[in-house]
């Protein structure tokens, strides 16, 4: 095979590999992702066993039993709220009225938070870092 044909073949092979990998990437990202939901959206429809990314504000009055915290997450601007139970230490900025993001799964009437997925947003407008547990 002369060099220039060899180069064309190499280029086509490389491009095909790149396209295949990109395709695999795109496909797995859609199947491995969890949808973002607000509390009202979760209240209206939620599939059992599916993981959702819940965002909202922590309602006042949460309780702790052992290592588990029981709190309610309210819509950022609205009335809907859902109960969440989360096992594990809370991030340092966790407070009533703060915005949180937590991956939850429905269990009965309430939701169970996935371990390590609770993120509390820093209160200042310019956030230096979001804080995970």
DSSP β-bridge partners for residue 56: 100
What is the four-CA torsion angle of 14, 19, 20, 25, rounded to 10 degrees?
A: 130
Q: Which is nearer to another protein, 46 or 133 (CB)?
A: 133
CA–CA distance, 53 with 36 (Å, rounded to integer): 4
Please count the other Cβ atoms lying within 10 Å of the Cβ belonging to residue 44: 9
Q: How far is the CB of 36 from another protein (least distance, A)?
A: 4
Q: How far is the CB of 67 from another protein (least distance, A)?
A: 5
Q: How far is the CB of 54 from another protein (least distance, A)?
A: 11
CA–CA distance, 103 with 95 (Å, rounded to integer): 18
Q: How far is the CB of 127 from another protein (least distance, A)?
A: 8
Q: Which is nearer to another protein, 33 or 107 (CB)?
A: 33
DSSP β-bridge partners for residue 82: 73
Radius of gyration (C-alpha) of the chain in whole angstroms = 22
Q: Which is nearer to another protein, 109 or 129 (CB)?
A: 129
Residue 58 contacts residue 36 (beta carbons within 8 Å)? no
Q: Which is nearer to another protein, 11 or 108 (CB)?
A: 11
Binding site for another protein (CB under 8 A): 3, 7, 10, 14, 18, 21-22, 25-26, 28-30, 32-36, 53, 55, 64, 66-67, 87-93, 95, 99, 101, 103, 116-117, 121-122, 124-133
């Amino acid at each position: 095979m002369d060099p220039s044909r060899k180069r064309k073949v190499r280029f086509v092979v490389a491009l095909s590999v790149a396209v295949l990998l990109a395709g695999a990437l795109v496909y797995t990202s859609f199947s491995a992702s969890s949808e973002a939901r607000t509390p009202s959206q979760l209240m209206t429809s939620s599939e059992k066993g599916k993981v959702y990314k819940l965002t909202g504000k922590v309602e006042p009055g949460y309780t702790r039993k052992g290592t588990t915290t029981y709190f309610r997450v309210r819509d950022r601007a609205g009335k809907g709220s859902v109960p969440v139970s989360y096992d594990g230490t809370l991030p340092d900025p966790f407070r009533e009225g703060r915005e949180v993001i937590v991956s939850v799964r429905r269990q009965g009437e309430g939701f169970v938070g996935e371990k390590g997925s609770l993120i509390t947003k820093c209160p200042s407008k310019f956030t230096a870092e979001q804080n995970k547990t």
